[in-house]
Amino acid sequence: MKRILTFIVGFVTGCMHVDPAHIDDEEAQLRGGTSALRVWNDLALDAVRTARASDADAARAYAMVNVAMFDVVNGLLGRGHVRRESALVPPVGAPAVANFAAAVDGAAYAVLTVLFPDQAARFDAQIAADKRALGQRAGVAAGLTWGNSVGTKVVDARTNDGARPVETVPPGSGPGIFRAAWSNAQFRNLAPFAIADAGAFVSPPPPALTSAEYAAAFAEIKIVGNAAVPDPEALARFQFWNLPAGTDQPAGEWLKIALEVSEARHVQFFDEVRLLALVTMALSDVVAPTFSSKFVYAHWRPATAINEADTDGNPLTDADPTWKPRAGGIGANPQHTSGHSAFSAAAATVLAGFFGRDDIAFTHLNDGAPNGMPRPYTSFSAAMFEAGRSRVEGGLHFEFSNQAGLAAGRGVGTEVIATALLRKIGPR
């Protein structure tokens, strides 16, 4: 009996033995993969800044890069790791052995060089440096080839996704209507990455100009968003979250938050690449309902509404032709619904769902921070609410449009976290 037990223990121990060198190699690969994820996301953020990309273009770009990186990594999993369903590119043709960092490099490079061809020299320099650093490690060439293949397929899949050609809406006229011409209306047709139907999240119409609800929102923003009413804290919050052209845009800040929280909480490589894909898909998928709402309702900005309140037919609103928003400008497109609110809610919902809790504290420094000062938050929703409300404090959106944007974003984020990249395929 003793000899039998000894044999069993020896047999099990032998089966469980793993070469320490193999463990070290895999751990090094995972560290390299995590580093590559962050390097290429930083490059994507910088590319958006340099290109002065719009909020919608930025969200689409971040999603394409992170979907490519997820699909390239997911396609390599097996032999002890469990794959999930793909985002866009199935694992057909994935090599048996490939370096994770090299695969991430190839995927991100393939996407960014197409999206931002004028900045190709920066991407060329990064991938050349990465190749030198990886040297002759096993699977580097296979990883780069596989990554390039996946990245190219992501670009191909999104070539006719509704982002182009640019569509400009002519100026409107009359009470309640946005007056200036505005561009990028084509984004109302942007194909989703993860949700089933963007139309399900188009906002309800704004309240009628003659309603008490409209008059209440009008009265609030006339005070809260007034440039002539000093409020340094409100101005600081607006500036922090404003993020105009030349910044990484609202989607970029929420991508940065995902990266920062992942690093602080030591999220593992396979989980982080999935989280970044989920967050950026949600950010891109909220674009179509937001722009659809703007296109359908063409609702005027508060500055026009207050300047011309004598035309709205509401006895509870008083015109002030001299009123100006704290933001300093009126806004580039119709105000219903708030895109900043929608982006923030989509990302915050995915982050809270991924971590299984909302109350994760973090401190964030973004592109719009006055005097380069970060702001602390007790939860994802705290940042979300501040970002949305900042648009009211800036005098750019009525509160009903902030709330509508938050609702649309929460809806998109909930569907993404509940349905995307979940199904486990099993080791191959």
In order, the DSSP letters of 3-30 are HHHHHHHHHHHHHH---HHHHHHHHHHH
Cis peptide before 337 (omega within 30 of 0): yes
Length of the chain (residues): 428
pLDDT for position 407: 98
Residue 82: CB atoms within 10 A of its CB come to 13
Q: In this structure, are residues 176 and 124 in contact, taking their beta carbons and an 8 Å threshold?
A: no
Residue 4 in this model has a pLDDT that exceeds 50: no
Task: Scan for tokens 């694992």, then name that residue.
Answer: 91
Q: In this structure, are residues 104 and 147 in contact, taking their beta carbons and an 8 Å threshold?
A: yes
pLDDT for position 80: 59
In single-letter form, the type of residue at position 143 comes to G
Cis peptide before 165 (omega within 30 of 0): yes
- The predicted-structure confidence for 198-223, as pLDDT tens digits, reads as follows 999 999 999 999 999 999 999 999 99
Phi, psi of 13 (to 5 degrees): -60, -40
Give residue 426's pLDDT band: very low, low, confident or very high (50, 70, 90): low
pLDDT for position 424: 72
Give residue 136's pLDDT band: very low, low, confident or very high (50, 70, 90): confident
- The mean-pLDDT minimum among 90-94, 157-161, 414-418 falls in 90-94
Residue 285 in this model has a pLDDT that exceeds 80: yes
pLDDT for position 82: 73
Q: Tokens representing 234? A: 């409100």
pTM for this one? 0.93
* Mean pLDDT in residue range 11-28: 45
Residue 68 in this model has a pLDDT that exceeds 60: yes
Average pLDDT, the chain: 92
Sorted by where each starts, the structural domains of the chain and their CATH numbers stand as: 16-157 (1.20.144.10), 185-419 (1.10.606.20)
Distance in angstroms (rounded) separating the CA atoms of residues 254 and 364: 10
Cis peptide before 325 (omega within 30 of 0): no
222 vs 14: which has the higher pLDDT: 222
Give residue 180's pLDDT band: very low, low, confident or very high (50, 70, 90): very high
Region of 124 please: left (phi>0), alpha (psi -120 to 50) or beta.
Answer: alpha
* Mean pLDDT in residue range 233-262: 98
